[in-house]
Each structure stands twice: as C-alpha cells, then as structure tokens.
Homo-oligomer: A and B are copies of this chain.
Amino acid sequence: MNVLIVYAHPEPQSLNGALKDLAVSHLTARGHAVRVSDLYAMDWKATADGGDFLHHQAGEKLTYRLASKGAFADGSQSADIAAEQEKLLWAQAVLFQFPLWWFSMPAIMKGWVDRVFAAGFAYGVGVHEGERWGDRYGEGTLAGRRAMLSVTIGGRAPHYSERGVNGALDDLLFPIQHGVLFYPGMEVLPPFTAYQVDRLKAEEWPPIAEAFKARLDGLFTDAPIAFRRQNGGHYDGQQVLKPGLGQGASGTRIHVHAPDEQAPRG
C-alpha cells in the first residue's frame, strides 16, 4: 500500500525524527511504498497568502477561499501545494508525525493544512443545496484513505486523561482528527502517543518503538474512530445531531457513534 508521512520537527536527532525514520524503515520492510513530506527540511511555507496562486497580482484584493477554488480548478496553484495534493491522492494512508505544541500541531504543519487543503479539494466539495451541505465528514476527495496522528507530548499522561487538567487528549485532538482529517473523508485511527518525552531515557526507546511498530502494522486493519458521517442520517437539516443520538454523552463524544447505539432511521 502507499503511505505518506507528513513530518514536522526542527531537529532530525529528536524522538520525532526517530519515529519518522522507524516508520519509513518498518513500513518499507512490510512491503509498503512510503513517501515523506519533511516540512522543516523542505522549508515548507507556513503562511497562506496571495503567493499561493500563480495568477494573483500583488496588491489585488485577496479572498483566499475564492482564489484557492479558482487556482485548484484551473491548475494555477503554487507548485508546492499541487505536489502535496498529488501525494495525498497517491496515498492510501497518511501518518502525521509531530510534537504537541500548545495542544495542537506546530505552525509549519498547520500551514501545510491551511495551504494544501484547498477549496474544491478538501472543502467545498459536492452538492451544497437545501439540507445537503456537501461531501464532508466521511465523504469527500480523500475518502477511502486512512490517517493516524503520531504525537509526542512533553507532559504526563494523567494530565491528558479523561479528567486531566489539560483536557482529554481526544478533545484536544478533535479539531484535527475530526475537523481536518475526517472532514475531507479520511478514516482516522486512534493516535499513537508518547508522553513525558522531554525526560526520555535511552532504555525507554525500545518499548516505544515496539508499540509504534504494532500500530504501524495495524494501519490498514485497526478500527478507525467511529465518527458519525454527516450524510449518514445522524444529523438533521440544520446539521445538528438528531434527538436520541449521543445519549448520556456531551462535548465531542456525541459525534462518535456508540457501539450499542441503534442505527438512525431515515
């Protein structure tokens, strides 16, 4: 299978660098084809602006969404953006390797999302009319692909637990896992995580590596997070979850289909 690794860390000799290298070697040894977008090494342009569109004139008023839509449609996006879109279409799974900085991805990776996830490619896809709000959340250009975050975290695991002071990791990652990855159609696996990485001792690497390899082996077989599909009958015409669904839960949890929940009707 084809796997794209999107990797963001400024130091090759870091745990993130080691995990990225391990993913490349292990997936390759398993027979997969692997490509890496090493954002720091590529000197990836993080900031979305008029320079992303070949026909944009300096000083011309910029509406980013419209410029993105037009440039995606007529092939006049900046070459770096088009190259990443081609990698995404090639991939059958996408692995994101990054350190959790301020409870999200580093800016350089957010800028990869902001620029590569173009209008007409990752949003604004499908029919928008009446109660139909396009192909998103389980449908879209990247449907049929899998995605997994591999995240290193400076803090301690209990701080990210269900009632931990930082908030539950699932909640913190919801804007990425649901809003960035599931939105254009990817199925999202639970994240791979390593905690307290600032204090990592050499003897702690082998068990992390083994756990990571096990997750890599499940990349195409492990069950994804059961996010509800927008057009799967769970949401009403206002895109609000129908009464009776998500009972007993609140917050982001209601957008995950509970195993014992009846399938929605109509």
For A175, give its contact among B13, B40, B102, B253 (CB under 8 Å): B102
Which A104-120 residues have a C-beta within 8 angstroms of B?
104-108, 110-111, 113-114, 117
A165 touches B108 (CB 8 A): no
A46 touches B252 (CB 8 A): no
- Copies in the assembly, this chain: 2
> Could you tell me the distance in whole angstroms from the C-beta of A210 to the nearest C-beta in chain B?
25
B108 touches A47 (CB 8 A): yes
Tell me whether A111 and B103 are in contact in the complex, defined as CB-CB below 8 angstroms, given that A179-B166, A179-B172 are known contacts.
Answer: no
> Could you tell me the distance in whole angstroms from the C-beta of A111 to the nearest C-beta in chain B?
3
CA distance A177 to B172 in the complex (A): 11
> Could you tell me the distance in whole angstroms from the C-beta of A67 to the nearest C-beta in chain B?
10
Stretch of A87-95, A140-148, A153-161, A211-219 contacting B (4+ beta carbons < 8 Å): A153-161
A75 at the interface (CB under 8 A from B): no
Interface of A toward B, CB cutoff 8 Å? 10-11, 13-14, 40, 44, 46-50, 61-65, 101-108, 110-111, 113-114, 117, 133, 137, 154, 156, 158-159, 161, 163-168, 171-172, 174-176, 178-180, 183, 198, 230, 235, 238-241, 246, 249-255
Can you name 15 extra interface pairs (CB under 8 A) apart from A161-B240, A163-B240? A11-B62, A13-B61, A46-B47, A47-B106, A102-B114, A102-B117, A102-B179, A103-B176, A108-B111, A110-B110, A137-B165, A171-B171, A171-B174, A171-B252, A172-B179
Tell me whether A240 and B107 are in contact in the complex, defined as CB-CB below 8 angstroms, given that A114-B101, A174-B172, A251-B250 are known contacts.
Answer: no
